[in-house]
Amino acid sequence: MPEPPANKLAGPVTPGRGTMLTGKVAMVAQKHGRLILVSSMQGKHGTKHGNGTSYSASKWGILGLMKSAATGLGQYNITVNAPIPSLVDTPLTRYKTRLAETMAETGRTPPEYPTPQQAWDVRAPTVPLKVGWLQPDDISPAAVFLASDAAAMVTGAEYERSPAVTAQRMCSLHAGVRSRRGPEEGEAA
């Protein structure tokens, strides 16, 4: 089987294919570079929302692509990493269905037409850092770091940007497992 051209990736067409082709050839030629592929917490943890399945799958694919590219491109002094933000204030956050989902995740029944402020006010108290969602400027410092010389020895890393939602989720999952199997040895029932 012939080798694929240098500017093509072998294998099926994937959402990340164009992501990798952008700049990869030039970086390999100069033996230096930084690829920063933005994923999402939904890519890491999935989503229970019907329309989010494809989004989650594509963002999970970005993480797999990042890990594979990091192992293959390291020999060229190219690092490949992924900031993974949680909910970010974008036009996709500010539509009726997403605002209602955000409010429902807290256990509250959303109004028929929730406003961004209502969603923020309901969500913020449930998040350890007490913010409803991230702002785009909350993510950019991670990308700047990953593009810098300070991150020269960082590759294949998932860099979560979350107001402690992940820590909270892990504590909840751990508590749920413990409650199903009973108290740990030495704990009071």
Q: Is the pLDDT of residue 49 over 80?
A: no
Tally the domains of the chain.
1
With respect to residue 78, please indicate whether it lies within any of the assigned structural domains: yes
Q: Which pLDDT belongs to residue 181?
A: 43
What is the domain extent for residue 33? Answer: 1-86+135-162
Mean pLDDT for 1-29 is 57
125 is a domain residue: no
The CATH number given to whatever domain includes residue 66 is 3.40.50.720
pLDDT score at 129: 87
Residue at 127 is within a domain: no
Per cent of the chain over pLDDT 70 is 72
Q: Which of 49-53, 69-73, 155-159, 185-189 has the lowest mean pLDDT?
A: 185-189
Is 72 inside a domain boundary?
yes
Report pLDDT digits (tens) over 84-96.
998 888 887 888 8
- Contacts of residue 101, Cβ cutoff 8 Å, sequence gap at least 6: 49
pLDDT of 27 strictly over 70: yes
Q: Which residues of 22-40 are buried (b: 16+ CB within 10 A; e: fewer)?
A: eebeebbeeeebbbbbbbb
Known catalytic residue: 55? yes
Average pLDDT, the chain: 79
pLDDT tens digits along 110-154? 999 999 999 999 989 988 889 888 999 998 999 999 999 999 999
For residue 119, being part of any structural domain is answered with: no
Residue 112, domain member (yes or no): no
Per-residue pLDDT for 187 more than 80? no
Q: Enumerate residues 6+ apart whose C-beta is below 8 A from 147.
A: 34, 36
pLDDT over threshold 60, residue 168: no
Who wins on pLDDT, 178 or 42? 42
Whether residue 45 is predicted with pLDDT greater than 70 in this model: the reply is: yes
Q: Which residue has the higher pLDDT, 124 or 2?
A: 124
Position 115 in a domain: no
**Contact in structure between 71 and 54 (CB atoms under 8 Å):** no
Taking 80 as the threshold, does the pLDDT of residue 67 lie above it?
yes
With cut-offs at 50, 70 and 90, classify the pLDDT of residue 53.
Answer: confident
pLDDT top residue among 11 and 110: 110
d(CA 151, CA 70): 13
In a domain, 176, yes or no: no
Tell me the one-letter amino acid at 32.
Answer: H
